[in-house]
Amino acid sequence: MKPKLNLHLFLALGVALVASYALYSATDWPFRTALFPKMIAVPLLVLALIEMGLSAFSTEKQREGHAVDFELTANIDPSVGRRRTLAIVGWILSFFILILLIGFPVGVPVFVFSYLKLGGKEKWGLALILTALSWLLMKGLFDRLLHIPFPDGWIQSLFG
Amino acid sequence: MAEAFVAGFLVVLQWKTFSFMLIGIAVGFWVGLLPGIGGLTTLALMLPFIYDMTPVEAFAFLLGMHSVTATTGDITSILFGVPGEGSAAATILDGHAMAKKGEAGRALGAALMSSLVGAIIGAFALAISIPIMRPLVLTFGAPELFMLAVMGISFISSLSGQGGRAMIRGFLGGLLGLLIALVGLDPQAGIERFTFDQLYLWDGVAIVPLIIGLFAMPEIIDLAVRGTSIAGELPQGNLNRGVMEGVKDTFRHFWLTVRCSLAGTFIGIMPGLGGSVAQWIAYGHAAQSARDATERSGFGKGDVRGVLGPGAANNSKEGGSLIPTVAFGIPGSAAMAILLGAFLIQGLRPGLDMLDKHLVLTFSMVWTMVIANVITVAVSLLFLNQLAKLTTVRGTILIPFILFLAFIGAFTEHNHIGDLVSLLLFGGLGYLMVRCSWPRAPLVLGFVLGEIAETNFYISSTRYGLSWLYHPVVLTLMVLTVIFIAYPHLRFYLKQVENEPIA
């Protein structure tokens, strides 16, 4: 029987690798330090391997594996869903990179404006008002009032 | 005693005390709503303001603020899927799912009313239990706390869904959470475990980025994929009607609310169990209350009981954690440790004096918690319909702000870029878990209980050898753990047998 390659299999494989790494790391530790990691990693590895086997070779029964958790929207054309997923993941990573490069106080309004204008295709007026609101929140509340120590971005650090 | 109880009520109603309490409530209201500002930090920031206050005014101000942050924290969890407070994360699972079904009003009504019931039960538990609490707290040493953690972990079976495959995935999540809890310096020998030579990880994985990543990120991605508002294309009328329905839900499931409140109070009393534990235990218990597999599978997808349980436990734990703080000077949580500072500033010594000489002050604390929550819920109920309408705002407008709050909320944990890396990593893991139908709640349960279990296990074995296994409370908790694991399966089995046609 040919194994099915799917996301379930890869997630279980990832967890199996994490458990294996935990067991490997624990081999060098003293007994007490290693006891809990081993006690947890062994059943984790066994269950991950079982889940891998089930994901690769068995067909899931209707609703059997459904979690006590929310489910992603299913009534969207898969190709549209994939495109939108990649787009939002790209935006999230861009936000992170923006913060690294120019820091929170500048990065937040830049991100809000870019998302509203490019991602949301919102009108100029609304985009500018909401950007100003985000800047006010960022500068007024988090920076001035609460004095959260936001680090400079790499670009600011570069130019002193 | 009764006189002091009434006198405590009357001193809170004095105009100056009442005004300070109102200021505290106003601050706490916003602190709870905004993910970037923790209730704990604000409590610490407010300490310098109490120097010129009398003890009654000071505690009305501080407790008024602190006791409402848990209540309003639920509002952000429900509306946007980002926890306003770390202790309001469990409400996301069903609360936000309800918002997506157009039932934001009902979820908010249920969260607020159950919070009020929880706060009242927690506060009155404080009032009546002080004289009898001393022997109980002293009975709970490391072995009992270890077994309590194990009992908490056993709720994984309730949070996993039905069927063998769902159980495997639930336990995979729970074990992964336990393993993540071990990251950092080993508490026994100070040896680095899974830190990858990063100083940031010495203290372990930060809980706020983990929770925001696991819960908020998949919701944000899903919102973007749907391309609609949070509530989709549902008519707005549904939102407005729901608030009273949510309030009624609290009374429809009143015993569940009471049980979860009592569980929260009990967890609050136990020093060292932490504020995040109560909500997840309560959520597990709420899921356990499902009568059959179909009902259980509705949890996480918008079952109001998943809002009521954590909502109630979240608030009742505050009253519970005040008990050891006031009576013995043992803080039940980090917030209570800060509050202990307020005692010192006011020249008060927790302990016998608080039950004798300052009994009126102790009862004023009880009344502050009750009155503050009544005011918050009453004020919130006036605005809930407007708040619920936020779920009809276009996703493209909400997404940058939700991301902003998620990033700020995660960053304020340690004010370190590592917090944002954690957020992204756990966001990715949370999304994959949802895609593959792995429940996320067991992971958080394992995470919050992992360190407690390990630390108390070592203290127990060092101090008692194996004899701790025969402690009466440990044995009782063992039996309860077995019952908690077996009960849902037994009930489903009996129901199946009942439904089978007689040959």
pLDDT in tens, A114-126: 999 998 889 999 9
For residue A113, give both structure tokens.
Answer: 């404006």
Round the average pLDDT of chain A to a whole number and report it: 88
Q: What are the start-end ranges of the E strands in B85-221?
A: 184-185, 192-193
For residue B456, give both structure tokens.
Answer: 């108390």
| Structural domain includes residue A120 | yes
Q: Does A24 touch chain B (CB under 8 A)?
A: no
> Could you tell me which residues are beta bridge partners of residue B192?
B185
Give me the pLDDT at residue B38, please: 62
Q: Does B455 touch chain A (CB under 8 A)?
A: no
pLDDT class for B149, splitting at 50, 70, 90? confident
pLDDT class for B182, splitting at 50, 70, 90? very high
Among A40, A65, A108, beta carbon nearest to B404: A108
Give me the pLDDT at residue B101, please: 82
CB–CB contact A76 B433 (8 Å): no
DSSP secondary-structure letter at A145? Answer: I
The total domain count for chain A is 2
Q: Does B466 touch chain A (CB under 8 A)?
A: no
Lowest mean per-residue pLDDT among B306-320, B332-346, B450-464: B332-346
Give me the pLDDT at residue A68, please: 63
Number of inter-chain CB pairs under 8 A, A vs B: 223
Lowest mean per-residue pLDDT among A62-71, A95-104, B473-482: A62-71
A49 and A100 belong to one structural domain: no
| Structural domain includes residue A1 | no
Q: Which H or E run includes B51?
A: none
Q: B184 in the Ramachandran plot: left (φ > 0), alpha (ψ -120 to 50) or beta? A: left
**The residue type at B111:** A
User: B423-446: per-residue pLDDT in tens?
Assistant: 999 999 999 998 998 888 889 888
**The residue type at A151:** P
What is the distance in angstroms between the Cα of A66 and the nearest Cα belonging to chain B? 5
d(CA B61, CA B16): 10
Residue found under tokens 């909400």 = B398
CB–CB contact A112 B400 (8 Å): yes
A40 and A83 belong to one structural domain: no
Give me the pLDDT at residue B85, please: 67
d(CA B178, CA B174): 6
Q: Domain limits at A105? A: 78-158
Q: How many CB atoms lie within 10 A of CB B356?
A: 10
Q: Does B299 touch chain A (CB under 8 A)?
A: yes
d(CA B308, CA B293): 20
**The residue type at B325:** T
Angle, alpha carbons B257-B258-B259 (nearest 5°): 95
Among A33, A87, A111, beta carbon nearest to B186: A33
Give me the pLDDT at residue B491, please: 66
> Could you tell me which residues are beta bridge partners of residue A132?
none
Q: Is the pLDDT of residue B234 over 60?
A: no
User: B35-56: per-residue pLDDT in tens?
Assistant: 656 666 677 767 777 877 888 8
Lowest mean per-residue pLDDT among A105-109, B273-277, B350-354, B358-362: B273-277
Three-class HEC string of B170-190: HHHHHHHHHHHHCCEECCCCC
What is the distance in angstroms between the Cα of B50 and the nearest Cα belonging to chain A? 19
Q: B363 in the Ramachandran plot: left (φ > 0), alpha (ψ -120 to 50) or beta? A: alpha
Among A32, A44, A67, beta carbon nearest to B175: A44
**Whether B39 contacts B28, CB under 8 Å:** yes
Residue found under tokens 């792995």 = B438
List the one residue out of B296, B291, B305 whose CA is nearest residue B494: B291
A96 and A137 belong to one structural domain: yes
- What is this model's ipTM? 0.93
Identify all chain B residues contacting A137, using CB atoms and an 8 Å cutoff. Answer: 404
Angle, alpha carbons B333-B117-A68 (nearest 5°): 75
List the one residue out of A107, A128, A106, A108 whose CA is nearest residue A117: A128
DSSP secondary-structure letter at A24? Answer: H
Q: Does B486 touch chain A (CB under 8 A)?
A: no
CB–CB contact B396 A8 (8 Å): no
Lowest mean per-residue pLDDT among A144-153, B60-69, B80-89, B466-475: B80-89
Give me the pLDDT at residue B179, please: 95
CB–CB contact A65 B169 (8 Å): yes
CB–CB contact B300 A134 (8 Å): no
Q: Is the pLDDT of residue B6 over 70?
A: yes
List the one residue out of B383, B317, B287 whose CA is nearest residue B79: B383
Residue found under tokens 């960053």 = B411
List the one residue out of B438, B440, B431 whose CA is nearest residue B219: B431
DSSP secondary-structure letter at A152? Answer: P
pLDDT class for B314, splitting at 50, 70, 90? confident
What is the distance in angstroms between the Cα of B133 and the nearest Cα belonging to chain A? 33
Lowest mean per-residue pLDDT among A148-152, B72-76, B240-244: B240-244
User: B455-483: per-residue pLDDT in tens?
Assistant: 888 888 888 888 888 888 899 888 888 88
Give me the pLDDT at residue A20, please: 96
For chain B, what are the domain ranges?
Answer: 2-488
What is the distance in angstroms between the Cα of B418 and the nearest Cα belonging to chain A? 11
Identify all chain A residues contacting B169, using CB atoms and an 8 Å cutoff. Answer: 51, 65, 67
Q: Is the pLDDT of residue A92 over 70?
A: yes
DSSP secondary-structure letter at B37? Answer: S
Q: Is the pLDDT of residue B221 over 80?
A: yes
**Whether B162 contacts B493, CB under 8 Å:** no
A154 and A82 belong to one structural domain: yes
Residue found under tokens 């209707």 = A62
d(CA B317, CA B3): 26
**Each residue of A119-129: b (16+ CB within 10 Å) or e?**
bbebeeeebee
d(CA B118, CA B60): 19
Q: Does B130 touch chain A (CB under 8 A)?
A: no
d(CA A118, CA A29): 52
Residue found under tokens 């276009």 = B394
Give me the pLDDT at residue B498, please: 67
Q: What's phi and psi for B209, nearest 5 deg?
A: -60, -35
Q: What's phi and psi for A68, nearest 5 deg?
A: -80, 75
Give me the pLDDT at residue B417, please: 92
Q: Tell me the residues of chain A between 118 and 137 that have a Cβ less than 8 Å away from chain B.
A: 119-122, 126, 130, 134, 137
What is the distance in angstroms between the Cα of A155 and the nearest Cα belonging to chain B? 15
Q: A33-47, B14-28, B446-460 — which one is most confidently predicted on average?
A: A33-47
Round the average pLDDT of chain B to a whole number and report it: 82
d(CA A150, CA B412): 9
A52 and A83 belong to one structural domain: no
Evaluate if pTM is beyond 0.90: no
A126 and A82 belong to one structural domain: yes
Contacts of B502 (CB under 8 A, 6+ apart): none
Give me the pLDDT at residue B299, please: 81
Cα B501 to its chain centre, rounded Å, is 43
Q: Is the pLDDT of residue B345 over 60?
A: yes
